[in-house]
Every structure is written in C-alpha cells, then in structure tokens.
Structure 1
C-alpha cells in the first residue's frame, strides 16, 4: 500500500483561511458543541459511572458471599467493565470544542485501546445474545455457559484485538509518528480505509448478527410455549434494551464516520456544521455506555434484586427512625404536661 500524506486535512474550526467558512459559523458551532459537552458531562457521565460502580460492588458482594459467580454474570461483568472504560475514554472530549494536541504516536495508541474496548463491547454482546437464544438447547448452550467463561471472554477480546490492530494499521501516520496533530479516538487524519474498515467490522457486520439474534429472541418471547429462563441466564429484557441502545447510538456515529470518509475522498475539509454533527454523534456514542449501565443496574436480575433489597432496608430504617422520633416526641409531651401539672399543684398550695 502506498504511503499517503493526510496532513492536509483540517478541522473546519481550524481552517480559518478557507474563504467558504465564516467566523460566525465557527463561533456558533463551537458554542453548540460546548453546550452538548456540558449536557453529556452533567446528565450522562455521573449516572453512568455511579451505576457502573454499583454493579461492580453488587457482583463483588455476591462473589464474597458465595465464592462464585454465575457463568453469565462473568460475561456481564466483563461488559460492565468495558462500558466503564469507554466512559473514561470520553474524558478525552472534555476540552471540546478543542481537541487533544499530541503526537501521531500517542494518538495511535489512544485509538488502538479505544477501539479494543469498542469492538469488545460489540462482540461480547453478540456472544451473550447468542447464548440467550440457545438457552432452550442445552447441548449448544453448553458450548458457552458450561465452558470456562474466560474462554468466551478471551474469544471476544481476541477478535477485538485483531480488529483494533487492523484499523490502527490503516491510520497512515507511521511516517509522521513524532509530528503533533489534533487527535480524537477516531483520528481525523486517518486514511479513508480506516473509517471503512471500522464501519464494516465495528458496526455493519456485528449489527447484522445483533439484529438477527434480537428478532429471533423477540419471536421466542411472544410464543406461548417459551421456556422460562434459568437462574444463570440474563433477562431477555436487559439484553434487548442494551442491543437496541447500541444499535441506535452507534448507527448515528457510523453514518457520520462514513460522511467524513466521503469528504476525504473528495479532498474536502467539510463545514462547521458537519464538524458540529460529528462531535454530537461522538457524544451520543459515549452516552450509549452510560444508558446501558443503567439498564443493567435496574433490569439485570442480581442487580435488580440488590437495588430492591437496598431500597427495602432504607425504608425499614426510615420507618424505625420515624417510630423512635414519634415515641420520643410523645414522651417529651407527656413529661412537659406532667411538669405543668406539678407546677400548677405547687402554686395552688
């Protein structure tokens, strides 16, 4: 493959010499990007991280009590950790409307590890949907649920590693490793092949399997003779919600990724409006992890039971405190009335 210099690409907000781009458009775009960032940081990051930490605490508490975790809970734990790491990667966007100013080498490392978790979440979810679909067929389900869970996790991670290695090889910055650049998790100055391969192996192909398994699971759920879930199986509801969230959020982002590829092939930098939409799509992508963690916390059976138990204990504690306070209040009133009567008797004497 011939080395191509993609350093000509600039963000529209940094292409001030372009007569087709007005300063007013740049200012408007950057103001909106800043507001979208504030909304993401305020309304998605805290609930997502809190939900993720609570889920981890619940799993570790269950493990400390029984010294074991359900085989599917181990897969779910890996998915939760992946989502938390993706949220941590979103902190690279806190300087928007600016961008990280680092070397191409550092940007490539950032892109590699982000794509590793990005692919892993997709492949792991497909694996979990596959097992959920085959739960009635014990012989086939044994391939995943009764085997070592680490083997299943290793398979998804190996595929994610290969996918990340492939897309990073298509960054096209090997000849400019020590030059500085403005960086995103999906670098702007990557070759068009980078975006196409990531779209294919990180969204298009996995999404076909996800949609297929999603539809088949829904068909099974509406059948009257559907077999109830076993204890070590996840609820279909939580898996279907996660899959739908991932498809929705990543669809928007990948459409914009292909749009960016089309601009590269036309040797264009785009407009401030397209930069705004791309940044918004990136925040939507990161918000997917936050939303999915909330679904797991409130819909996954072990987590849902732990939340209900915590709420029940809080209610009982509140009622006990309320009873104690009420008793103390009545006692105080009785003492005051007794003192008044005593003082009244003394004054009469």
Structure 2
C-alpha cells in the first residue's frame, strides 16, 4: 500500500489519493498554496491543527462582532449628543479598520482547512482591500499616540498644530497612504524569481488575505511598510512624549497609565502582527525553495487566525478600557437588567396617598371660618 502522496507540481493542486482496491479506500482532498511532498499522516495532522485553530477563533470572532456593533452604536450616540471630539474621530477610524479585518476573516473561517477558490485577479482585489484596512489600522495607532501625547502640551510647529486640531485631515492622509501601499503590494504580486512562472490573472487558485503566489519581495515590503515603519514612528513619538512630559514636570509612566486603551491595543497589535509577519516570511521562503511542508502550511493558517484575533481583541479592549464606551455598556446592561423589575413593581404596587391629620384639621377650621363670615 502506498503511503506517499504524489508530488504536487502546480501552485494550487487538488489531489485525490486512493488506496488499492484490496483494502478500504480513503479519499483525501488536499488544497494547498505550494508544492508539497508529504505523507498522508502529515496531511491529516496539519488539517487537524488548522481546524482546531478555526474552532478557537469562532469565539474571538463573535466577541469582536458584538464589540464592534456596540462601538458603532456608541459613536452614533456621541455624534447625536454633540460631544464628538478629535479622539472619537481616531477611535472610530480604528474601529472601522479592525472591523473590516474581522469581516475579511470570514473567508478563512468558512473554508479552512482548505482555501477560498477564485481567480488571481479576484484574489488580488480581495487582498488589496484587506491591506488598506491592515495599513490603516496600524497608522491609526500612530495618530492616536500623537494626539494623546500632545493633547495637553501642544507642539510649537504650525504643521503639527494643524494636524492636532484637524484629525479628520489626518485620517484622510492616513487612508491615502494605506491605499498607495496597498497598490504597491498589489503590483508586487506578479513578480516571481522564476521567469517560466507566468502570472495568469484568470487562473483559478487558492486565495487568502496574503495570496499564496506572493513573492518574497511582497512579504518583505509588507513587513517594512506595515510593521517596522509604524512601530518606529510609535517609538519616536514615545521618545518625544518623554521629553515633553519631563519638561512639564509630569511623570512619564503616570501619563502613559492615563491612556490604557492606547497601550493595550498597541501591545496586542504588535504581538499579533510580529507573529504573523514572521510566519509569512518563513512560509514564502520555503515555498520559493520548494520545501513547504503541510505543517508549515498549517502554521500559516494559525498565524492568520492570530492576526484576526488581534483585531477582535482590539475591538474588545476599546469597549472595555475607554471610559465613555465602558460607561455606556454599563448603562445599557444595568437598564436592561433593572427595566423589567421596575416596570413590574410599578404595575403591582398600588398608589396610596397618606395625608397628615393635622393638615386636614387645619383645612376644616379654615372652611368653617369662611362659612361663618358669610
């Protein structure tokens, strides 16, 4: 009985592995993003790992969706109340970016351990819009850091003062930078080291948020533009904030503790994206050298779910750590819990009016005096 799967030469391959007719047959459909030469047991173990990660992510996705819906409801209430400020603008833009990433995760949630099957063109468009949200969310953290650091100590530079006073303009510039970065990555999808590997935009292939046919230069460019540069900007802002707060006789740590939502979201985003980018770089390098194994393919799927979980966690942290959102959630929960009991109490309890006898006697005397006068 053969225990080795045939070598898969195509970038996206679906193989039907059937054992000899003398023994029970097992049909295993394997959809991969690169050439594999692995045993059936390795394929099964890899699919099992991916499926377990998929099930675990379901809970994160539900929490992320619920948190995002309540956040948008809170933003609507804030806007209607006329209390909208510049921090709300940045938090709303960040919430939209993270929520869109959670929406993109549905493609992985619905198809793993296999992949969404579509043309290279459709996959590139899907990846483009995902990357816009990916870059935008990272740059929004930089803007949040800038606003929170210089909120009480405005910068002396006119350009920085304008950026501080007009957050909607900063959001527009950030979105434009995200669009340009995504266009660059979309153009890098067709670059390959193999001149014989022609990029056919109408070829049906396995698709994910970072396409399987992405080259090594694609992964390096995304690492630099979407992770290294934004985090260097954050470090520079923290350094500037340390100098500004030291000059104003404020404690650096105490000022940072005043912004728990920013610190928590930045930390979660950093951890999840460094894991994802590290696994992506490793996976692309193994695919280029035809050494990609089912286990590494499964690790790439797990890294995707880690990235998506970071967006869900960011939405939950925004809801729980930001004061107005937390108070709004507490108000809704308390009103929902007390509303039924209050209504029943008013219905069942009769209204009894008790009047003081002294007041009644005084009223009767006044009435008698009035009668005698007449």
Normalising by structure 2, we get a TM-score of 0.75
User: Is residue 2:74 matched to residue 1:51?
Assistant: no
Which has the bigger relative contact order, CA under 8 A and spacing at least 6? Answer: 1
- In structure 2, the residue matched to 1:142 is 161
Alpha-carbon deviation of 1:314? 3.7
- In structure 2, the residue matched to 1:163 is 181
Which of 207, 210, 234 in structure 1 is aligned with 2:234? 210
- In structure 2, the residue matched to 1:273 is 295
User: 2 CA distance for matches of 1:109 and 1:39?
Assistant: 28
Provide the secondary structure at the position in 1 that maps to 2:118. strand
Kindly indicate whether the alpha-carbon contact (under 8 Å) linking 2:12 and 2:33 is maintained by their aligned counterparts in 1: no
Which of 193, 199, 206 in structure 2 is aligned with 1:182? 206
Provide the secondary structure at the position in 2 that maps to 1:107. helix
Q: Which runs of 5+ in 2 are unaligned?
A: 1-8, 15-29, 192-197, 351-374
| Deviations 1:110-140 (CA, angstroms, capped at 9, x unpaired) | 1111101100101111111122122232245
User: Is residue 2:92 matched to residue 1:69?
Assistant: no
Alpha-carbon deviation of 1:261? 2.6
- In structure 1, the residue matched to 2:99 is 84
Deviates more, 1:172-181 or 1:314-323: 314-323
- In structure 2, the residue matched to 1:110 is 126
CA distance 1:311–1:24, change in 2 (3 Å) = same
Alpha-carbon deviation of 1:144? 2.6
Whichever of the two has the greater Rg, that structure is 2
| Deviations 1:257-316 (CA, angstroms, capped at 9, x unpaired) | 110232144x21411111111110000000111111111111112212212322343454
- In structure 2, the residue matched to 1:250 is 273
Matched length: 315
Provide the secondary structure at the position in 2 that maps to 1:21. coil
Kindly indicate whether the alpha-carbon contact (under 8 Å) linking 2:286 and 2:292 is maintained by their aligned counterparts in 1: yes
User: 2 CA distance for matches of 1:326 and 1:28?
Assistant: 62
| Deviations 1:173-200 (CA, angstroms, capped at 9, x unpaired) | 7841111111111011122111110111
Mapping for residues 1-349 of structure 1, pairs under 5 Å: 8-10=10-12, 13-14=30-31, 20-41=37-58, 43-66=59-82, 69-93=84-108, 94-140=110-156, 142-147=161-166, 149-172=167-190, 175-213=199-237, 225-226=250-251, 236-265=259-288, 267-317=289-339, 320=342, 323=345
Normalising by structure 1, we get a TM-score of 0.80
Alpha-carbon deviation of 1:18? 7.5
